[in-house]
Amino acid sequence: FEMTKIEGFRQKALPGLVGEAVRLPLRALATEDAFFSALAYRQELDALAYRQAVKEGLFMQPVEFAARRAELVSSPTEAMMEKARANAASQTFNTPLDTPFGRGIMQAANANVMTKMIAMFVRTPMRIIGYAGERSPLGLLGDEARANLSGVNGKIAQDTEAAKILLGSAVMATAASYAGQGLLTGSGPRTAEQKAVNFLLGVPPFSMKIGDYYYGYQRMGGPFGMLMGTAADAQHLFEVEASEKE
């Protein structure tokens, strides 16, 4: 694949064993990135091969269907490989920041040697935020999302876009419900006094209560943890405003 989490950064500033030890975390991250990219690539390739075999009218012919599907997976077209690469980049948060704002951020990060050291970690967090937004009601604001939902880009794109937004919205609705029952926390109170009270009560931020214990969810599922936290905060603000009106 063209890019990994380390953004193709290969300069070895520290030679020898010390340098290898320093670079070990980045190498591990790149290995993990390549592993999940390969999974996402093959996942999309299998789906495309399946759809193509169905389009060719082979679904009711199991032997021919399986053979055609295997043929397409082993010898995919350029269009299939392009879509599979795009899916791999999306699922591993490696999609290029192709908006003016995103390009500006990356240009600023690559401005000098010092900022280049952190540039490798810029795109992934921004893509995670975008990934979460695309799977929330805010996704309806995107031009591509609206085009997909209108059916302009085909039935598959329409169904996929609807599923993305509905799934994310369902996660947020469930999280808000749990937050209203005191089973889910967001970023927590705004004042230092209230934060201190929560600390003494053993109520940590971004956590889910299961039984008598709280378990952090912020790192669970990446974007979905972000959606849960946003919904919990929204529910908290709603309750605060409701109590103030009373």
Q: What is the pLDDT of residues 150-194, one digit of tens each?
A: 999 999 999 999 999 999 999 999 999 999 999 999 998 888 888
Contacts of 113 (CB under 8 A, 6+ apart): none
User: What is the C-alpha separation between 109 and 18, in angstroms, rounded?
Assistant: 26
User: What ranges in 16-76 are assigned the alpha helix state H?
Assistant: 16-55, 62-74
**Among candidates 158, 136, 163, which has minimal Cα distance to 146?**
158
Q: Which pLDDT band, with edges at 50, 70 and 90, does 31 fall under?
A: confident
Match 């320093």 to its residue by tokens. Answer: 22
Match 């953004």 to its residue by tokens. Answer: 7
User: What is the C-alpha separation between 243 and 237, in angstroms, rounded?
Assistant: 10
Residue 213: strand pairing partners:
210
Identify the burial level of 25 via C-beta atoms within 10 angstroms of its C-beta, where 0-12 means exposed, 13-18 middle and 19 or more buried: exposed
Tokens, residue 24: 């070990």
Query: What's the pLDDT tens digit per position in 117-162?
Result: 666 677 778 888 888 999 999 889 888 899 999 999 999 999 999 9
Tokens, residue 37: 């990219």
- Check if the beta carbon of residue 225 is closer than 8 Å to that of residue 244: no
User: What ranges in the chain are assigned the alpha helix state H?
Assistant: 16-55, 62-74, 78-91, 100-109, 113-119, 123-134, 143-150, 155-180, 192-201, 223-245
| pTM (predicted TM-score) | 0.75
**Among candidates 220, 244, 237, which has minimal Cα distance to 180?**
237
**The predicted structure's pLDDT at residue 244:** 72
Question: CB atoms < 10 A from the CB of 14, how many?
Answer: 11
Q: How distant is the alpha carbon of residue 6 from its chain centre?
A: 17
Question: CB atoms < 10 A from the CB of 174, how many?
Answer: 14
- Check if the beta carbon of residue 187 is closer than 8 Å to that of residue 205: yes
Using DSSP's 3-state secondary structure scheme, residue 213 falls into: strand
Contacts of 81 (CB under 8 A, 6+ apart): 45
Average pLDDT, integer, range 27-36: 86
Question: CB atoms < 10 A from the CB of 232, how many?
Answer: 27
Q: Which pLDDT band, with edges at 50, 70 and 90, does 2 fall under?
A: very low
